[in-house]
Structure 1
Amino acid sequence: MAERPLGIQGIEALYEECRTRVQDNRTAPTGPGLPAIVLVGPHGSGKTSTLKWLGYLGSRRPHVYFDFGSAAPRRPHEVAGRLAYGLSHRLPRQTPLLFPRLTLGLFVVAPELFLNPTDPERARKQLRQALRGPQEPQPAAERVVAVAGLLQDLNLLRIPGISLLASLIRQPPSMPLRVTRHTGFAWYAGPLTAMDALVELNQLSKSEDPTDRAAVDRRLCEAFLADLRGEYARRQRDRNCVVLLDNIDAPGGREFLDLLMELRDAAGEPDPLLAVAAASNVGRVPGMFANGPAGVQVRFPEQAGYLDWARSVPDPPPNRSWRWYCVQLRGLTAGETAQLGTNIAARLPEAPLLAHRLTDGHPWSVRQMLTASARIVGRERPEALLRAVLSSTTPSAADADEGPSLEAEAREYLLRDLTDDQRRALVECCAAREFDAACDAGLLDRFQLHTRDSLARVVATRLWLTDPVPQDAETRGGRGSGYLERVHPNPLRGSSVLHPWLRMLLLRELAASPDRWMAVHGKLRTWHIEHGHPLEVLYHSLALQRVDDVIEHLAQRLVELSDTSVWLYELYTITAAPLREPVLPEQPATLRAEELAAELAPRAFAAHTPLTLLVLSLWLAADPRNRLPGANPELNRTINAMFQDLAMRSVPTRIGLMHEAAKYV
């Protein structure tokens, strides 16, 4: 049995809605037909697992799974043949689907069938002879090889009978001759007789002309859909058949689905085929346009539904983009992560919460973190080991003391689509709070032209940009979130930011070169000075360890501002800056805050002790590894005490600071 992915309830409901909207050519078409559902998300977001779970849910009705990423690139008609093979499997209490039109067409365009191109009569005779079957049966070994190749394409684990495979790929049609004649031949007949049309199709298939090749693909994909419509018209069925298409952003995926959507438009009648696809690159999905970095209208599972798609269809549609319905898989919630880590939580309760906070619920990364954390259970000083979990070797390493670190493997996995130059550029761009600022500040100027032109699009279409998280007590181990939104007269722009987990991994690579860290943050700081962004200037000042500048600003603002909320907004916004060495696993974060205060800001520490300790503690608390144990986060006591101390010293007394202190109890 397949394992049900977490957080896909809305996708399951959409899937069942579309599966049960059966229309055949005996009933009047209603509505816009069926969408091409595309599950989108970055690498590791659970797309393949979700497709396979949907296949399990639909396993009692015709369905097939095909992965464009693992199979060799196939032309559209070859994909249609493989899908037809999968859909034709005999299921309990189900009449199998037959594909006489497609079967006949695939036989005619088989590479080994050559018909005389100069003598039409001779060509027709050759075709009739071929259709009667070979003089000698195909060797069993060849049939097994053909079966194995097809099963590999379809990712099937068991080998069923080869009768339909033989008819689709290597052998003449094995269906009753009357079915082939009455259905297949009749369908190909038109201005030409059926035999002449089939001879012409064979000759087109031998051409290298792209126009001729496209004509073959189009005709056979038409046959595929016509067979499906015919089967549903011939016998009433209660579910549409389903094709699950993984990695449609790989070669061949879009080519097949684009043709399928074009044929649906041209037919003007519904077909009983539900296509559910998956892609990591939303730029390869021609869905309806929407403002935003990705440029495509995307729904989350909780929003998804057939009616939502149908209502979004423009009237009249300007193009076929309305047929595509993109649903973005979301990250795991804290509760879902805890559910995955049930076995660990009993003995190491901090592990699931830390995994969620570090990865922001990215499914693949959560599982990697939980697996690595499980190796800590029962060992001495588990909290120190948890703080160092990203530096531990990967769970897949044969020797626990050797192999790549968890953070290195995660970086490689998440960035595998990028070129080396794009990756180097992204490592520098991660220093900016908002991704647009990195591009605007000229961080890409020294990289290759292709990188300068493509990086922003690559990051956006691979869905690594997210909305910023409100900076407040919630992000530092306290209680309450969003209460400082819209309180500042000059807030941050609020444009898209890199996914926090990816950004953390990139910042670790940037931090490995202190000179590079200083140069990038220095350039960003200068750019923000020139463009009048004082909070961003102080953000990068803190990243550059210019703590005195930050304390001087906050101390002055505390005196001159009448609204404590405005001051708190600035405090949290500035202390969200990255720290080059955020965690020392063997050193408690509270002790480190005092050492950093004395080391980086001796002048401010002497003149503004509570404020300096507060700033350093909030700066460290921005990293969830410094907020262990989970039940009583480290640094909370210091943050609470420093807020209270500032409240008592402020003139006039700031009751807002006392309220903020209470969030860390």
Structure 2
Amino acid sequence: MALRATATGTGDGRHLFGREPAMRLVREFADRPGHASRPQPVLLFTGPRGSGKTAFLDALADRLHGQGPYARLDCEVLDPARLSLAHIAVELDRHAPDPIAFPRFVAGQVVAAQQLDVDPGIARLEAERALVEHRRADRLRALLGGLLPHAEHVGRRLADGVLRGLVSLRHGHRAVLAADWFGHQDRDLGRDPLDVLVELNRRARTPQNQDDARDTGELLWAALLADLREEFDRGTRRARRGLNCALLLDDVDSPAAKPLLDALVRARRQYAAHLPGGCDPLTVVATSRGKRSGAVIATGEASPLRDIERIEASGPEPYYTDFTEHGGKPWYPVRLRDLTRDEIGNMVDELGRYAGNRKNRVGAAILRLTGGHPGATRRLLEEIRVRPGDPVDLGPLLGDAPLLGPGGSFGLAEPFRAGLAEEALHDLVTCAAARHQVEAERLVAHSGLAASHGARAVFAPELWVPADDGHHVLPPVLRRVLLRELAARPEQEPANWTAVHTWFRETLADQGDEVGELYHSLAVGEVESVARRLNTLLAYSDLPTWLDLLAAATAAPNRLDHADPQLDQVRSLADWTHPGAAPQAAVARLVAARWIAADPLGDSRRHALYLEIAACYDEIAPHSGSGLATLRAESEKYRRWSELTD
């Protein structure tokens, strides 16, 4: 059985773009081949603020509705583990097509809720009496209601179903069948179940003690999973259980989520240690901004962060196969990717205002600014929706007001700045000049341009995302907003645009980092020095290395005034060359044109700009030795791009 392919939503009726691969991943882990359980990791979907993690869980809950049991928890407002587990049990039963009984789990909750005597012998009798008394449905429902005082209702069928397991006589004593489990715990422990339950009660009454809270959560998780195994892997209902239960947890970076999930992982490990391959029918889908995923990767409990698209084409059941081939570790962290150009094109189509190349220009402009960040893309499209005209230039759309102020730029960067103090925000703007986190850390530590007391907040894991080159970088949309703020700082401020980029240029030059030196030189407007250096290198560098250096240097940010036509800007930036100086004049124009083209806030009507870049490659080609064909190919690429922006 698979999750039904219904329309997905964001909570407001709109389609959720770009998340079908993630949906397929969850479906693959939730499916039960042969109606049998198999080992499950915690599926940990990771992305920065605004990347659509909550919307993804909303859409997943929509798809699960009516197909299988699921529970949804917001970990920012999570109750202590014992109460959270009670909520999970009630929600799983409420959303299940057939009732689910949790006799072992409820037996543990019944005893944990009592005020037992400190004398162990008396406590055993009181625990046994409590179990017998809760054979009445009204008492059991009252207990569940007490555990979940904020719930709208307590599942009547859950309470009634549990009673099926709370009926027995054991060894001549009044007892409960479910209580027997606490003696062996499916691991042949050979302990007295009432002694274990009394110990559970003692630990549950001191939740402030971390060891007691950990042991309470682990034992109750083990009981809940044992009940799920009974329901899903045994008995007459097994054939009807085509999907695992699903537990959806939003924001597991919160402090309360760690002990809850750690207890689940320990309970699973202990069961599997006794019964190799032992597993349960619970698929856990959690979201993290990066703190939790980084922690489990660092400790070796997870494989490196996975990219869905790189796995999906590998064959049948690609995700589960990838999980097992990487050791079947308890956590499976997955990067929630940004939107692609085509997905943004579909979102532009939703507006119903653009067609043909106008749609291409609008989609390309949005992609350059947001980098495909889902939240920023949606906010930008909402702003475009209510404004007339064709937003070929996003600069005027954003306006002149500070983007990081209250409501500035219609909240484009608002998700990222949540909880940041003003001094940390100021330092984050300064650090936006860095190409990656390592550079930013050096700036804070050695430049004197940032306040080191804000470093911890500035380098919070949720603000820096992994890049393909192994570095951590600011999300593109956040960095672009921050750079705009940095460019607006007055020259008299110590950490102004020129001061920060100059510090980087000089520092990286001393370290022999030529790429970084050229990048930051161009950022402060030194087109001539960068072009002269690239012109010199063309004569004796291999062409692929030269092209990589050109691309890296011209990716530098700029503070250019986009009011002038782009070709006029190119000519102005390269007017220090003699028109007949080949190939230096062409290299200078190429550096200027590619630098302008890299700016996401520039005019999106780039037909003439791309043709100029193509012409520059053609002029340089005869001077590149054996690289003639490579540069002709680069020229043709930009000519094709020019057709898309005509």
> What TM-score do you get using the length of structure 1 for normalisation?
0.75
1:83, distance to aligned residue in structure 2 (A): 0.7
User: CA separation in 1, counterparts of 2:385 and 2:516?
Assistant: 39
Task: Please list, as runs of the form range in 1=range in 2, the aligned pairs for 1:427-446 lying within 5 A after superposition.
Answer: 427-440=429-442, 446=448
User: Does structure 2 retain, via aligned residues, the 8 Å contact 1:35–1:323?
Assistant: yes
Deviations 1:508-549 (A, max 9, x none): 122121432111111111112212233432322222223332
Aligned residues of 2:302 and 2:330 also touching (Cα < 8 A): no
- Cα deviation for residue 55 of structure 1 reads 2.7
Deviation at 1:163, TM superposition (A): 2.6
Q: Pick one of 254, 263, 281 that aligns with 2:290.
A: 281
2:464–2:472 CA contact under 8 A, matched in 1: no
CA distance in 1, matches of 2:214, 2:364: 53
Residue 128 (str. 1) matches residue 129 (str. 2) = yes
Q: Alignment partner for residue 534 of structure 1, among 500, 505, 514?
A: 514
Residue 339 of structure 1 corresponds to 346
CA distance in 2, matches of 1:554, 1:228: 65
Instruction: Choose which of 530, 534, 554 in structure 2 pairs with 1:575.
Output: 554
**Structure 1 pair 133–339 and aligned structure 2 pair: CA distance change class (3 A):** same
> Cα 1:34–1:551, aligned 2, differ >3 Å: closer, same or farther?
closer
SS in structure 1 of the partner of residue 44 of structure 2: strand
**Counterpart check, 1:504 vs 2:507:** no
Q: Does 1:626 align with 2:599?
A: no
Whichever residue aligns with residue 410 of structure 1, its letter is L
Alignment of 1:577-592 (within 5 A): 577-579=556-558, 581-582=559-560, 584=562, 586-592=563-569
The SS at the match of 1:388 is helix
Partner of 2:398: 390
Q: Equivalent residues in 2 for 1:414-493 (5 A)?
A: 414-416=416-418, 420-440=422-442, 446=448, 452=455, 458-459=460-461, 464-467=465-468
The 1:606/1:279 distance shift into structure 2, 3 A limit, reads same
Q: 1:51 aligns with which of 39, 50, 57?
A: 57
Tell me by how many angstroms 1:364 deviates. 1.2
Partner of 1:300: 307
Residue 75 of structure 2 contacts residue 249 of structure 2 at CA under 8 Å; is this kept in 1?
no
Matched-pair contact (CA < 8 Å) for 1:390–1:406 = yes
- Per-residue CA deviation, residues 618-665 of structure 1 (Å, 9 max, x unaligned), is 221111332522xx5352244345555667999999787666544433
Distance 2:625 2:25 in 1: 58
Q: Which amino acid aligns with 2:362?
A: A
Taking the aligned partners of 1:118 and 1:70, their CA distance within structure 2 comes to: 38
Q: Does 1:636 align with 2:642?
A: no
Deviation at residue 435 of structure 1 after TM alignment: 3.5
CA distance in 2, matches of 1:290, 1:178: 44
For residues 211 and 541 of structure 2, what CA distance do their matches in structure 1 show? 73
Using the size of structure 2 for normalisation, the TM-score is 0.77
1:551 and 1:604 in contact (8 A); partners too: no
Residue of structure 1 in register with 2:252 after alignment = 248
The residue number in structure 1 matching 2:32 is 21
Partner of 2:638: 664
1:365-405 superposed Cα distances (whole Å, 9 cap, x missing partner):
1111211222234x3x7434x3423338999xxxxxx9623
2:178 aligned residue (150, 159, 184): 184
**Residue identity in the other structure for 1:297:** P
Aligned residue pairs, count: 588
Please, which of 73, 76, 85 is the counterpart of residue 81 of structure 2? 76
Mark the CA change 1:223 to 1:614 in structure 2 (over 3 Å): closer, same or farther.
Answer: closer
Displacement, 1:203?
3.7
Q: Deviations over 1:384-437 (max 9, x none)?
A: 4x3423338999xxxxxx962337x33331243655555443333322334423
SS in 2 for 1:219: helix
Q: Conserved in 1, the CA contact under 8 Å of 2:543 and 2:627?
A: no
- Aligned mates of 1:366, 1:404 — CA distance in 2: 16
Structure 2 residue aligned with 1:374 = 385
Q: CA deviation at 1:503?
A: 2.1
Sequence identity of aligned pairs in percent? 26
Distance 1:582 1:179 in 2: 81
Quick one: distance in 2 between partners of 1:222 and 1:539? Answer: 55
Aligned match of 1:239: 243
CA shift in 2, pair 1:23/1:356, >3 Å:
same
Mapped to 1, the partners of 2:75 and 2:116 lie a distance apart of 34
Structure 1 residues 356-365 or 80-89, which shifts more?
356-365
CA shift at 1:142, angstroms? 12
* Kept in 2: contact 1:100–1:179 (CA 8 A): no
Q: CA deviation at 1:234?
A: 3.1
Shift of 1:115: 3.0
In 2, Cα distance between the equivalents of 1:126 and 1:389? 68
| 1:596 shift after superposition | 5.0
Q: Which runs of 5+ in 2 are unaligned?
A: 1-6, 10-14, 170-174, 185-189, 273-277, 312-317, 640-646
Q: Which SS does the other structure have where 1:218 is aligned? A: helix
| 8 Å contact kept, 1:360–1:500 | yes
* 2:261 alignment counterpart: 257
Q: Which amino acid aligns with 2:399?
A: S
Tell me the residue number matched to 1:491. none
| Alignment check: 8 A CA contact 1:68 1:252 kept | no
Q: CA deviation at 1:277?
A: 1.4
**89, 92, 96: which one aligns with 1:87:** 92
Q: CA deviation at 1:82?
A: 0.9
Q: Are 1:539 and 1:575, in contact at CA under 8 Å, matched by a contact in 2?
A: yes
Contact 1:63 1:244 in 2 (8 A): no
Distance 1:48 1:100 in 2: 32
Please name the residue that 2:228 is paired with: 228
> Does the 8 Å CA contact 1:77/1:221 hold for their aligned counterparts?
no
Among candidates 94, 97, 102, match of residue 99 of structure 1: 102
Alpha carbon RMSD of aligned pairs, Å? 4.3
Shift of 1:12: 3.1
3-state DSSP class of the match of 2:45? strand
Q: 1:531 to 1:125 in 2, by over 3 A?
A: closer
Match of 1:412 in 2: 414
The residue correspondences of 1:508-527 to structure 2 (distance < 5 A) are 508-515=484-491, 516-527=496-507
Which residue in 2 is equivalent to 1:205? Answer: 204
Taking a change above 3 Å as real, the CA distance of residues 178 and 362 of structure 1, as seen in their structure-2 partners, is: same
Q: Which moved more, 1:80-89 or 1:55-64?
A: 55-64
Letter of the aligned partner of 1:270 in structure 2? C
Please give the alpha-carbon distance, in whole angstroms, between the structure 2 residues aligned to 1:337 and 1:660.
26
Aligned match of 2:315:
none
Q: Could you tell me how far apart the structure 2 residues matched to 1:563 and 1:79 are?
A: 61
Specify the code of the residue in structure 1 equivalent to 2:104. Answer: R
- Call closer, same or farther: CA 1:290–1:538 in 2, change over 3 Å: farther
Q: State the partner residue of 1:483.
A: none
SS in 1 for 2:607: coil
Which piece of structure 1 moves more, 607-616 or 410-419? 607-616
- Secondary structure of residue in 1 paired with 2:601: helix
Is the contact between residue 100 and residue 158 of structure 2 (CA under 8 Å) also seen in structure 1?
Answer: no
Structure 2 CA distance for partners of 1:17 and 1:118, relative to 1, 3 Å: same
SS state of the match for residue 376, structure 1?
coil
Distance 1:274 1:615, change over 3 A: closer
CA–CA distance in structure 1, aligned partners of residues 261 and 216 of structure 2: 16
Q: Say if 1:604 and 1:120 are closer, same or farther in 2 by CA, change over 3 A.
A: farther
Q: For 1:287 and 1:576, how far apart are their aligned partners in 2?
A: 33
Aligned residues of 2:120 and 2:198 also touching (Cα < 8 A): no
2: distance between equivalents of 1:369 and 1:511?
Answer: 21
Q: Residues of 1 paired with 2:122 and 2:623: CA distance?
A: 104
Structure 1: gaps (5+ residues): 151-158, 315-321, 396-401, 469-493
Asked if structure 1 preserves the Cα contact closer than 8 Å seen for 2:614 and 2:638, the reply is yes
Give the distance between the partners of 1:188 and 1:657, measured in 2 at CA.
73
- Which residue does 1:217 correspond to in 2? 217
